[in-house]
Structure 1
């Protein structure tokens, strides 16, 4: 029992001791937390103070006069605004921490707006001049009111979450803030950043708390055996391993490494096997072996080592900067050194970059002030600064020609000139002849050579006497896509890196911008001179005015004096003599109303009104102007031209009279006039799909104006006709429509004859002459046409054409019949001694002759459909008389013929009948007689025609049977009478023979 009580007391004492150790550990942890909070507060204050310093530097680089000029609009502010924006952009570019730099101004209504922004105009985050800053924090307004430099944030606006430094620009005359410079730092991860900076302290406090707890636990471990000891060791190892701070435990005697955590290995890029058991000095982790010796000495002397800055070297040779804290701990009763390292490389690099950025900005500011310096002075200065910023020993600068194939050396550093022993230094180097230093131009990128002695196939050797190089870096400088300069530096003690490239490029890019600006300013001066000359030669006065009742002039050219008699100085910003007071009183209200309407609609306008000159005379004025708006559609001012058009006004009156006459001619003309316009202008060239364009034109080209003659052609009213498309007019022949449009668009005008569809869907033939109408860009707007209905003319031409064809046919038939007659005549000659056969050939010739004569009459006249019978019969009988003419007989012919037209169907049979009867009379009626008489009569009676042929010859015997006659002549007559559907009567009761034939019209 006694031993149990003692054990229990020991346990109670042990518990009390453990509780005290725990309380102590907790107290240290709480202190660590408080120190961490204090550190966060100090970092926040330091950050804000640093931001104020940066903002004040920016403020110092901004001219109050430039700001006042922008506010007062005392002169052309474009150049001044561009200068401010350029400065802001450069400041924004040199420091990656700064996201936005801008200048704010405050209106009378206390609204804050952007005066200038360092963000490029093409950026979606760009704020244009005059844009209202709706999310402006109250601190910005407070900066205007108090004139104090302030820091605000983190706060959130439409651009993001920021901490912003505000620096008011004070007007020395009034002591008031005329503008405020704002500098935004991204604060989206601000608190994480602050905590990151306090992690070493917090980690150390955790470590000490754990260490104390571990020491307390050690007491319990000693008393509670090895198992508890192992558990405590594991807990320590877990905390040690998980700590984000790089930690290493090494022997205080020989420096061998006993333990490291993962953060240490990751930071220095070693594996555990490569460091455990190795000596710190052998690994060459510290930049100097003496650092380890000095640390050990301090610890042995019980000196505190807290956040000392050291330089470390990683396994791959990379240099790191760290804050080192160290203390002596016992590990298994052996004193060891616990070293904790916080990586501050990024911060150190940022500080160096900040210093270099400041130097570069200072150099650019100095360059910007070298307004009277020569180009050589500017390039020499920039080169020396580039050497200083990159910590180099030598350098050069060359310009590149437009073809990028020749380098023109322009500047050498002073040190290079001192060391160079080349007697004749060339200034131009063909790119193809250059070695390594030309690769930056060939590859269009920066080139770094940190070991110039190493073998390289691109090397071509240095000239004798050239500066010796062991390191070299150069970079091409661009203007757009064109390389314009090549800047190079060399012989830096340390290796060149991307930061050096960045500083060299930014400085030289800034130099080129200044060179371009210098060239631009010189060109601007020349341009301003040309502008003044141009404005002086314009026939009118150029003006810029406010949108107020007085039309307050902000600018007006010298031509105003010629127009109004007033000098421009009498009108610009004048309350005594306003432009509105020059406008005729009867026109003032009209002018204001029309301008207000067009400005409201954001449209340009043209006005004509009367202006009273200084000498009291009235002149007619033509004003062409438009409003100028900002990106918020706020009207800034009105720009325009005023021209004296008094003489033109008289010409307009005459033109109106002329137009009236033209309109009368248009409307009263008997020929159709019309305009056909496209819904939208079209392009017609080889770059467009012409078939698609034609489709569009056919369906979207409409009648917009037409005279009465045009309406009559289409049998339409004006309401029906206006708006009709080519498709409506050519729906019966769209292919013809496409061809006409193609010819018209190809040639610009076209004359054609075509068929179109009237409103009643009947087809008409039109003859038209058309000409394209174009806009200023050469696009086709539509066309103007003159056309007439030639349907009747076309029909008449078709009839004439058919008549010509038929006439030609008759002519050919007649010729063919003549050939047959000739053949029969030749055959008849073969039978000279056989009269019956010869006479048969002659009779056949006469019959064919009668038909040939009919065809001859048809083709020799204009009427190819019918023959005038009296002429035909006269010619036929005359021909028969000539054939049977005899000197010993006198046969008289009497003709009584009506002027009657018969078709070929009646004329040919009728002619053959007359031929047979008259021939028969000549051959048989007057045998053994010296004279005779033949009468022929043809009459058109009420509903029939009557042919009577009679002679006073011997006559036909009374017993002659006409119907049963075997005579060829009578057979032919019978056949022809049947063909005519005629009635024939042969009368031989009197002396001679009388034939009476009656028939109706075959038509």
Structure 2
């Protein structure tokens, strides 16, 4: 569009004062700019064409026409709704001309630049604001927003997108005075909000420039709100989530997209700054809590980077070593504590850099008058984006604990040595009794007494063998059942010249405490001696099988089976009236066990008992008190 040229004649009143002007000529560019044809304007006055003419404009043009000269100025044309660059100059007696250039786009650009500059200046003021609280920053931001948009009132809400809740954080004095709806202490649900919640629901800026007209955005408008003429609300986004809403109202001119853009660009950094303030507050709070905790602890707490340089020292422990915490930062652990820690620390650090935790012990020495102490240090990785960026260490003085452990270990070794000596002496004393009985047997005894002496010897040995195994087992409280039975069989075979074969088999994992092992050994001894003494075949041969098994580790079953001749009723170890029967009866009750007999195939006795839980032995004072019954087909004694 070119320059619009028009020539006018000034019209004066009776006192030669300009009151209007008449169009004399226009060029085609004038028609294009104004939309007015030459026939519509030529010969007519400005007041006849438009009522928008102003007295100031007529006064200016009259001065040029009467006095000559020229003026250049910029003017907003209400009728054209455009900005014009006007060059007015004299064109003869009582005449003047204007050259008009449309500068609307340039003015918009200039206004946008001015708005950007004003916003940036406001943002700088906000970010340089001596913030003492979030509230102070929000109040300052609202003041800048109202100034930038030339609004009379405004408010700022924080919004929680997960909870769908608003919290009022700032509002202008006029809004506070005129609006009786909003309360800073109240949380507002999104579904309960009216027009000021539309910015969140629609996720865009909402503009209402005439509140007298109906609008779908004005739903749920409560009574008591501020008197609104124009209103603009803008959602604030951070990481694609709405975190707040800013609203301004009652600008003299209509709000437009530029206002919404400037408001968004101004307030978004404010919310980012508030988030940083909150994060810094949490960091400061956690830092204070952490330092209070580490100060109250007696432990060594420090951090270091991946190269082993100390980056943080926490707590009061440096004082105990005559060190200053800050002086340790920037050094390696070896430089602080000396070479004693180097090897163990480097090995542990290598494991932690690989992503695992590590614990090691070392001796701290060479710190003035402080005695050497044993330190236990645990290292853990600190990860950032999945990578180990630092190492945190917690060290504890375990000197007292180590001393207690060593003292306890010494006491345990002393007690074990004592137990071993007691077991050895018990075994030796029992062996001495066996030897004395052997010596007695050599000094003439009839066959009946000699047999009884040998029987007592083997019974005593069954007890001695348990103590012998107990002293050499290393555990001092349990022995292997099968090993005990094999030793017993070896002793009996060594002291008897009979032709028989005894096989011992079973679960090698069966271990018994001494309270159970001694009674079991005596019971098996009685059963075995009975087989040898009463079940041999006519040719003198005999085969005996002893098996010990357990199904669940809680109950043990021992079977003593021979292939000899069947015993007559009333004979055998569980027959009525014998010493062997009395022993079996009392010992079985002691270990809370049961005995069952089968005479159909040779002679089989089954002993079942719990692996643990022996009681006190019960021996009848008179064998006649034993109430034995005849057994067959695995019936047991009560």
Higher-helix-fraction structure: 1
Give TM class, smaller chain.
Answer: 0.3 to 0.5
Query: TM-score with structure 2 length normalisation?
Result: 0.46
Bigger Rg, which one: 1
